[in-house]
Amino acid sequence: MEDASGFRGHADRIFTPASAVEVASILAQAGEQRVPVTVLGAATGLTGGGIPQGGWLISTAKLARLEILPGRAIAGPGLLLKDLHAAAARTRQLYAPDPTEITASLGGTIANNASGSRSFRYGATRRHLLALEAAFMDGTLRRFQRAEKVDFDVSPIPLPNTTKNTAGYPLSPAMDWIDLIAGSEGTLAVVTEAELQLLPAAEELLAGVVFFPSDIEALAAVDSWRPIPGLRMLEYFDRGSLNMLRARYSEIPASAGAAIFFEQELSSPSDIDPWPDRLHQARADQNASWFAVSDADRERFRLLRHALPEMVNDTVRRNGFMKLGTDFAVPLHRNGEMLALYHRTLGDAFPGRYVVFGHIGDAHLHANILPASQADFDRGRELILSLAREAVRMGGTVSAEHGLGKRKAPLLEVQYASEHIDAMRAVKSRLDPHWLLGRGNLFPPH
Ligand SMILES: Cc1cc2nc3c(=O)[nH]c(=O)nc-3n(C[C@H](O)[C@H](O)[C@H](O)COP(=O)(O)OP(=O)(O)OC[C@H]3O[C@@H](n4cnc5c(N)ncnc54)[C@H](O)[C@@H]3O)c2cc1C
């Protein structure tokens, strides 16, 4: 078995429980028998977190209940995000987290505190959780409401100065249980049900894919557009990304050196009026850019955005490698500096064989290398480690949304001092004394 990053593993036994009580009982048995146990959602993860290295596997596929209510939904962890989004939309409501990969399971997105494109306006998954039910290694099943505090002492850890972060446990003395379990990458408990906040859906949306001659104009546009009311998404494609996408989308203008994909929730039709001036001031290629207000056209743009990471992942895997990409975010004012560093470093080492794209509104870009040989892969890994150190030096995070899982677990110590990792380990030991759950995630085996 493998996840979307190409990380492989195997399980000695696979369980597909149909109830939370069953999950709790499997964990109790695993605890008694000292068997490592890993929980898997939809395997769209990019860090190997749900892929076991032996032991038992719990699949959440059968835990997919969904109840939509005014302002909230109650859902099982195996529910796919696309089904949740569609059901919410039928009642004119919005479940805001949208990690672009809508075949992800709800449980996987909670475990990774996933975010994606709309987090520019709405933040990551944690913010949308009203209550969680979770099963622990001692076989207990507990339900936590928002604002219910952890009932043991935790030492605080310093958090990066970014709008999103999901590297390790965000420990603080009076933290909510929900904020500890969410983002813990299946290492502390198995989420068996969640109560989610639903927001009123926007009446009207404007979407655009705006082409620029180069990064310089695109970066300036991002800074000046950030405060636009209702803007919920600011996504970036570099020249390499556009080159790759042209294989499927020949209508991408040949002159474009960068693009920004945006969505704005309109409070009135006149919200569209300032756009021609904005595009002109930003020195965008106004005539070649694309705009949409219909659902069908917006869906085309979404598919274009999603096609890119899919094409990257497919190319890398077809060449026989695992994904080799970054998930760093930096403080907003270091956005341009980080992008320039990516281009300088990767342009020298992998000319024409890397792409940079992603959530530029949050200063959170994914640089992906397309290795052609094992030597390339090894060199790429080294460079990514040095880029991680630079991101942290700028006040950033080594993981804004994908988590660290097994593949990236060594980055935890790039981000945090040993005493802070010890504080996380103490929490892990308290809730999973034999270190059986999600073994290898976050904390590399010694
Ligand atoms: C093309 C592509 C684009 C992507 N874009 C984004 C993006 O923009 N933003 C983003 O955030 N992510 C993105 N991802 C990554 C991925 O979709 C997310 O990490 C998602 O949260 C994984 O969900 P999953 O159900 O597939 O989890 P899995 O891969 O099955 O598991 C991921 C982790 O969650 C744990 N887990 C799963 N279920 C539970 C549970 N019930 N209780 C406790 N732990 C659990 C697993 O043990 C594992 O550690 C992308 C992936 C792909 C392939």
Domain boundaries, the chain: 63-200, 202-296
| Cα–Cα distance measured from residue 243 to residue 387, given in angstroms and rounded to the nearest whole number | 24
Stretch 393-421: mean pLDDT: 97
pLDDT category of residue 446 using cuts at 50, 70 and 90: low
Tokens of 399: 């993981």
In the chain, pLDDT over 70 holds for what percent of residues? 100
Nearest CA to ligand 1 atom 27: 108
- Paired strand residues for 139: none
Q: How much is the average pLDDT of 174-188?
A: 97
Q: CA 285 → CA 106, 227, 252, 381, distances in Å?
A: 39, 22, 11, 36
Q: Residue 425: is its pLDDT beyond 90? A: yes
Ligand 1 centroid to Cα of residue 103, in Å, is 9
* Domain 202-296 fold: Alpha-Beta Plaits (3.30.70)
Q: CATH assignment of 63-200?
A: 3.30.465.10
The reported pLDDT for the residue numbered 124 is 97
How many angstroms is it from 104 CA to the middle of ligand 1? 6
The per-residue pLDDT for 444 is 83
- Distance (angstroms) between ligand 1 centre and the Cα of 95 equals 16
pLDDT band at 100 (very low <50, low <70, confident <90, very high): confident
Nearest to 175 by CA among 148, 193, 142, 136: 148
Q: Tokens at residue 256, please?
A: 């474009």
Mean pLDDT rounded to a whole number for the chain = 96
Across the strands, what pairs with 397? 329
Q: How would you classify residue 172: left for phi > 0, otherwise alpha for psi between -120 and 50, otherwise beta?
A: beta
Residue 417 neighbours by CB distance under 10 Å: 11
What Cα–Cα distance (Å) separates residue 392 from each residue in 138, 184, 380, 388, 412? 36, 20, 18, 6, 11
Q: Which residues line ligand 1 (CB under 6 A)?
A: 3-4, 38-46, 49-50, 60, 77, 99-101, 104-105, 107-109, 111-112, 114-116, 185-186, 190-191, 309-310, 313, 401-402, 405, 438, 441
User: Ligand 1 mean position to 116 CA, how many Å?
Assistant: 11
Tokens of 155: 């030492």
Longest dimension (CA), the chain: 67
Cα 390 to chain centroid, rounded: 21
| CA 36 to centroid of ligand 1, rounded, Å | 20
Confirm if 400 and 166 have CB atoms less than 8 A apart.
yes
Averaged over 6-33, what is the pLDDT? 97
